[in-house]
Structure 1
Amino acid sequence: MLGAAIAGILLGLSLAAPPGPMNAIIAEESVLRGWDAGVRAGLGAMSADACFFVVALAGVATVLQDAPTLRAGMMAVGGLLMLYFALDAARSARGSFVEGESSASKGFRRTFMLSLTNPYQVLWWLTVGVALLDPGTLSVAVPVIGELGVATGSVAIVLGFFAGIALWITLFPAALVRAGRRIDGFAPLVAAGSALVLAGFGVVFLYRALALL
């Protein structure tokens, strides 16, 4: 049970922690609007993962494996959304950082929409996510403890997976807010960096969408 929970946490971190458009938005929301806004942005991505979990559990997600046109459409929509959000981040970098509650809640909607149109996130669920749900065994290398053989398809590994995501979306914004309090000009730098990351991924997504057609 403990091994399955640890494996789930590591898998959750493997999806949530790598640099990308979702973490760019979480970073932007955290430094411009505070820890709670960063967490809300993280919850948007986590909610999309919950949707993918249900879809993968039902076996529907495998349809995308043989649907290049659908994947291209998702990439195109995701790329356009990223470019739009990149412009919004650029405006935030040079504008006022004192905004209302309605503006602060945009992070949830942005990460949720991007996650649903992110074919790489879908691909994760078609590979690692399927292995997470299918009954069997999974070997996971854990620091200090060593190699762990855990049973997949269990409640413990699924709960651990979402606990790993929750851990990241609470600690990552906290670290950014702490850094922002210590470093002058940190917020506009992060917002500008977020705009560059989103724009870069948006261009890549559009290019790959055209390549699939």
Structure 2
Amino acid sequence: MVGMVGGGLVGIVLGLSLAAPPGPMNAVIAEESTVRGWRSGVRAGLGAMSADACFLLVALAGVATVIRDAPRLRIGMMALGGLLMVYFSIGAARSARGSFVDHEIGESKGFRKTFALALTNPYQVLWWLTVGVALLDPGTITVAVPAIGDVSIRTGNAAIVIGFFAGIGLWITLFPLALSRASRRIDGFAPLIAGTSALVLAGFGLVFLYRAIALL
């Protein structure tokens, strides 16, 4: 029982560790949350989480080794991801300009943006090819839990997978909520976040394109 609970907690921590760090997905979520509201931010988060569900199915099907052994495919994904980030940064910049005039701007495309970015994000793919595959393989890992001590957790069970997606769910719910509330209370917050998102997306996109070209 402790092992199952521990597995769920480890899964939550891993889900948060993948979802929370600054990056292109959170840039889109932030833009959607501040410019179009909490629901749009959550939808954007669900796009990234749906991509993780696809990676889970790929890992379970054993297709992960095909991607891992195809460097050209990974380079192509990196280049495509970089192009998408640069393209989406233009939309974020337009949102920054438009949000000075109207809080509700255009149709939300956050789900499609984050879904496409996640599927072409080589770092997210690499996570599933390494950590993700290891967690799905039956075995045991030992984790130091404060106030309890070392806990042996079985990998390859449903508790870790459920905890993982629960961790992502927590982030994509609470992060947009905090940003949308801040945008309603602070004048100029929405265009500031949208502009920052545009810079983050453009920066990551250019880095991805540079690395893809360097690896050719």
Q: Tell me the TM-score range normalised by the shorter chain.
A: over 0.9
Question: Is the 8 Å Cα contact of residues 9 and 164 (structure 1) preserved in structure 2?
Answer: yes
CA distance in 2, matches of 1:56, 1:88: 33
1:18 and 2:21 correspond: yes
- Give the structure 2 partner of residue 110 of structure 1: 113
1:97 and 2:103 correspond: yes
Equivalent residue of 1:18, what SS?
A: coil
Cα 1:17/1:147, change in 2 over 3 Å:
farther
Cα 1:144/1:200, change in 2 over 3 Å:
farther
**Percent identity at matched positions?**
76
Moved more, 192-201 or 175-184: 175-184
Q: 2:35 aligns with which of 11, 25, 32?
A: 32
- Give the structure 2 partner of residue 123 of structure 1: 126
Question: Is the 8 Å Cα contact of residues 81 and 120 (structure 2) preserved in structure 1?
Answer: yes
The CA deviation at 1:142 is 4.3
RMSD of equivalent CA atoms: 1.3
Question: Is the 8 Å Cα contact of residues 95 and 105 (structure 2) preserved in structure 1?
Answer: no
CA distance in 2, matches of 1:212, 1:60: 23
The CA deviation at 1:180 is 1.5
Equivalent residue of 2:105, what SS?
A: coil
CA distance in 2, matches of 1:168, 1:54: 22
TM-score normalised by the chain length of structure 2 = 0.93
- Give the structure 2 partner of residue 72 of structure 1: 75
Q: Which runs of 5 or more structure 1 residues have no equivalent in the other structure?
A: none
The CA deviation at 1:63 is 1.5
TM-score normalised by the chain length of structure 1 = 0.94
Question: Is the 8 Å Cα contact of residues 68 and 212 (structure 1) preserved in structure 2?
Answer: no
1:187 and 2:186 correspond: no
Q: 1:134 aligns with which of 137, 144, 167?
A: 137
Q: 2:46 aligns with which of 43, 46, 49?
A: 43
Number of equivalences: 210
